């Protein structure tokens, strides 16, 4: 399969030195890429600002903002069979980005934000017979909210993780996830290295493609 994976955070600048972002390190998305490559698939990895080395054999496209990530996904998706959206895309961006560093004395304490597009939903018209897989980072029991996101975003599978669990979620070497499918079936995976989570996700994608 030709697999498109997004990984890491996006960074939404306020001025040349400040930005809004989140705690994603890209480890989960890069682990997925390594697992897919090890299984013999072709991988295009769209990465937000992270400090990880490129998995050998992956074609890497670096982006910074959510709008850049959207454009990269639009460009790369037509050549792919599967899109796995593991990136933690910032839901909001500052309404304006100052070309110069904002002066502290001139700041009002109010930051005006505008919503970023939802990348998965925006590219849904391009889906065709491609598989779309999302991740859901939740604080607390993730199932209900992940199922809602899976329906809302037209996904074939969603990987739900409660990011408050020890060893799971952002910036950890391990993760504990549940694979959820539109027919209501689920697979609870134990706490394990992100690379093994990646292997389980890629195997599940393979079964969806060729049942």
* Binding status of residue 55 toward ligand PMT by CB under 6 A: no
Whole-angstrom distance, CA of residue 143 vs CA of residue 126:
27
Q: Which of 3, 5, 25, 205 binds ligand PMT (CB under 6 A)?
A: 25
Q: Distance (Å, rounded) from C-alpha 183 to C-alpha 179?
A: 12
Query: Looking at 13-21, 114-122, 182-190, 202-210, which segment touches ligand PMT (CB under 6 A)?
Result: 114-122
Spatial contact of 157 and 208, defined as CB atoms under 8 Å apart: yes
Binding test (CB under 6 A) with ligand PMT, winner from 14, 37, 163, 204: 163
Half-sphere exposure of 153 (CA within 13 A, CB side): 27
Residues in the interface with ligand PMT (CB under 6 A) total 27
- Contact window for ligand PMT (CB under 6 A) among 13-21, 80-88, 124-132, 198-206: 80-88
- Burial of 52 by CB count in 10 Å (0-12 exposed, 13-18 middle, 19+ buried)? middle
Question: What is the sign of the dihedral through the CA atoms of 77, 81, 86 and 92?
Answer: positive
**Part of the chain binding ligand PMT (CB under 6 A), chosen from 33-41, 92-100, 112-120, 199-207:** 112-120
CA nearest to 119, candidates 80, 159, 67: 67
171 binds ligand PMT (CB under 6 A): yes
| 22 is a catalytic site residue | yes
**Contacting residues toward ligand PMT, per CB under 6 A:** 8, 24-28, 66, 85-89, 91, 116, 118-120, 134-137, 149, 161, 163, 169-171
């Amino acid at each position: 399969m030709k697999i498109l994976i997004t990984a890491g955070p996006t960074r939404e600048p306020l001025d040349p030195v400040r930005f809004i972002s989140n705690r994603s390190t890209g480890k989960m998305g890069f682990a997925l890429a390594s697992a897919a490559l090890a299984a013999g698939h072709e991988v295009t990895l769209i990465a937000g600002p992270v400090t990880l080395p490129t998995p050998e054999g992956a074609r890497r496209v670096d982006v910074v903002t959510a709008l850049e990530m959207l454009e990269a996904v639009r460009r790369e998706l037509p050549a792919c069979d599967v899109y796995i959206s593991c990136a933690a895309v910032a839901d909001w961006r500052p309404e304006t980005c100052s070309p110069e560093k904002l002066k502290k004395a001139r700041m009002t304490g109010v930051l005006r934000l505008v919503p970023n597009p939802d990348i998965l939903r925006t590219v849904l018209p391009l889906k065709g017979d491609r598989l779309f897989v999302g991740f859901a980072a939740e604080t607390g029991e993730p199932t209900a909210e992940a199922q809602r996101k899976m329906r809302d975003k037209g996904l074939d599978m969603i990987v739900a993780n409660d990011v408050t669990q020890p060893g799971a979620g952002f910036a950890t070497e391990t993760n504990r996830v549940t694979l959820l499918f539109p027919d209501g079936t689920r697979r609870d995976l134990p706490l394990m290295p992100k690379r093994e989570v990646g292997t389980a996700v890629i195997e599940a994608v393979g079964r969806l493609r060729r049942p």
